[in-house]
Amino acid sequence: MEPVVFQQRLNGSIRTFILVLGALSLLGAAVSWMFQRNLLELVIYLAAAAFFFLCLLIKVTMTVHEAGIDLTMLGGIADVHLPASSIKGVTLGPTTGLKEGAGIRFIGNAEGLIVGGPTIKIERTTAPYLVSMANPDEAIAAINRCF
């Protein structure tokens, strides 16, 4: 079977919050430069805006293949391999948002890679794993076909 790849970018209320913070940082830079001409303040505001806008690029990638499921987030900083032998099943998980945050998270008794929105819950022999997915039904079907 060919590997199937799913991706989910930062979305929902988390994305909106990050956009607002980035816009406020740009506004702060403009106001600071117009009234004080302080170069250090300008650089700090612009660095904050750049950071917030780079946060918009956060995504979760899930690759389903015969050997298991590979999960990647933050450009490879958070890599997880779930071997096929440990996967018992998959169901629709909770919808996450600003309250749960984004990144590597623990929600209930499950660990997960979350970027907001719908999730799938991968049941394992140890503890369940949550993964944000744009099309959870397609992801669940792909995993069920593979395992």
We report the CATH number of the domain holding residue 117 as: 2.30.29
- Residue 34 shares a structural domain with residue 85: no
Predicted model pTM: 0.86
* Percentage of residues in the chain having pLDDT higher than 70: 100
- Residue 93 shares a structural domain with residue 31: no
- Residue 112 shares a structural domain with residue 72: yes
- Residue 24 shares a structural domain with residue 87: no
- Residue 96 shares a structural domain with residue 29: no
- Residue 41 shares a structural domain with residue 68: no
- Residue 117 shares a structural domain with residue 95: yes
- Residue 70 shares a structural domain with residue 50: no
- Residue 83 shares a structural domain with residue 48: no
- Residue 47 shares a structural domain with residue 105: no
User: Pairing state of beta strands 119-124 and 129-132?
Assistant: antiparallel
Helix (H, G, I), strand (E, B) or coil at 31: helix
Do residues 92 and 144 make contact, with C-beta atoms less than 8 angstroms apart?
no
pLDDT single digits (tens) 53-80: 999 999 999 999 999 999 999 888 889 9
Report how many domains make up the chain: 2
pLDDT single digits (tens) 21-33: 999 999 999 998 9
Q: Domain range spanning residue 34?
A: 10-55
pLDDT at position 50 is 97
- Residue 70 shares a structural domain with residue 24: no
Report which of residues 127 and 74 the model is more confident about: 127
DSSP letter for 96, please.
Answer: B
What lies within 8 Å, CB to CB, of 117 at 6+ separation is 8, 11, 12, 95, 96, 97, 132, 133, 134
pLDDT at position 12 is 84
